Amino acid sequence: MESRVLTGGAPAIRGGLPLLRKPAAVMKFTTAATCGINRDFPAGAVTAKPVGPLIAGPNLIWGRQLRPAILLETSPKRESIKPCSAAASSSAGSSDSSGDVKVGFFNKATLTTGFFFFMWYFLNVIFNILNKKIYNYFPYPYFVSVIHLAVGVVYCLVSWGVGLPKRAPIDSTQLKLLTPVAFCHALGHVTSNVSFAAVAVSFTHTVKALEPFFNAAASQFILGQQIPLALWLSLAPVVLGVSMASLTELSFNWLGFTSAMISNISFTYRSIYSKKAMTDMDSTNVYAYISIIALIFCLPPAIFIEGPQLLQHGFNDAIAKVGLTKFVTDLFWVGMFYHLYNQVATNTLERVAPLTHAVGNVLKRVFVIGFSIVIFGNKISTQTGIGTCIAIAGVAIYSFIKAKMEEEKRQKKAA
């Protein structure tokens, strides 16, 4: 509310009525922006008739507190003052008609969340396709894993340099908490890439569908959390489906299968340590620090395991097959897509409920498996196809049950 103090001694009298003047050429009646009137009146055209006794003195407070005791007599057409609630409801209705806020499914928030999901899936599919194409002419997963993380780290450093986002400081305590998370992230990432290089992308993602099983086992036997029987039963089709797909997968080999299983275990421990490493940082800064530490962990095995081969013939063979320009640009873009899809996935999952999160993860795996089969023309047996569908269905059931449990737990805490 805007209040004005009119000074200058006793008010002037015209026709026996006190005349309230404002020095400026225009006098305004104002109150709270959502509840009052804002009209312009010529100076000197407003008179006020006292209904009760006025407090003597040279100063009058011009504002809402005088309105109950003063009636406007000669002002232009008056407007009634609307209560705040009425004004708010009127404003809400008008915003509907003006198009600022739309009620229904196609509102701004829903469309924004849908865009985030689309970008998450799109970037993930492009990463998997480009990653596998690189392995077809450059089968060095340890070095490629380093490139993934290195490009992401450079991206984070540049982002910090321009202040988008602002870098959050890190102390020794936070570093100790994030280091185990980063180690598990590095191990899971490298073993995933070893599996991608060894077998078909669709098969690796089918095996990685077992990750909820390892999460449940870790929660039960390591964290001591009681897992309901319904949740365990929902994992049975996951195990069955992966087993069926593995038995008849044409690209099956033990290196690819074992690496995917180690990746599942690593990401399970990453989840456990992440719960213990809750910090005050935002997710973007946390992921940046984890990427930097994970890169440090990935460098030694890449140097000692693949370094001699790369220097002898690895780089030369790749350049001879596709050329230096394509080789370098492929490595750069696969690193960018890896970092961006992880970052967008984090931003997406922060915007949605646990159930939507669970469904989104399942659909993402379906998209990746489907697109990889189409792009690379991988031939799969009927039993492999059925097993993959059973495994994905089991993951969907598990995710649904767990999300409902989390929602019920959250509602109980809120109550």
Q: Where are the domains of the chain?
A: 112-409
For residues 219-225, average pLDDT: 76
pLDDT of residue 35: 41
By CB neighbour count within 10 A (0-12 exposed, 13-18 middle, 19+ buried), where does 285 fall? buried
Say which DSSP state 60 is in: E
- C-alpha distances (whole Å) from 190 to each of 124, 208, 273, 292, 296 are 17, 14, 18, 15, 13
For residues 156-177, average pLDDT: 89
Q: Which residues contact 383 (CB under 8 A, 6 or more apart)?
A: 244, 245, 247, 248
Is the pLDDT score of 293 beyond 90? yes
- C-alpha distances (whole Å) from 341 to each of 65, 104, 219, 294, 364 are 58, 29, 27, 17, 11
Q: Which residues contact 86 (CB under 8 A, 6 or more apart)?
A: none
Is the pLDDT score of 44 beyond 70? no
Least confident stretch, 42-51, 151-160, 219-228, 327-336: 42-51
Reported as a pLDDT band with limits 50, 70 and 90, residue 26 is very low
Reported as a pLDDT band with limits 50, 70 and 90, residue 88 is very low
Rounded to whole angstroms, how far apart are CA atoms 369 and 388? Answer: 9
Of 51 and 196, the structure prediction assigns the larger pLDDT to: 196
Least confident stretch, 26-40, 97-111, 152-166, 331-345: 26-40
Q: Which residues contact 321 (CB under 8 A, 6 or more apart)?
A: 137
pLDDT of residue 135: 94
Is the pLDDT score of 305 beyond 90? yes
Is the pLDDT score of 34 beyond 70? no
Is the pLDDT score of 402 beyond 90? no
**pLDDT tens for each residue of 256-271:** 889 999 998 898 888 7
**% pLDDT > 70, the chain:** 70
Reported as a pLDDT band with limits 50, 70 and 90, residue 60 is very low
Is the pLDDT score of 91 beyond 50? no
pLDDT of residue 359: 65
Whether residue 76 contacts residue 41, with contact meaning beta carbons closer than 8 Å, is answered with yes
pLDDT of residue 62: 39
Is the pLDDT score of 109 beyond 80? no
For residues 371-378, average pLDDT: 78
Is the pLDDT score of 76 beyond 70? no
Q: Name the region of 7 (left: φ>0; alpha: ψ -120 to 50; beta: rest).
A: beta
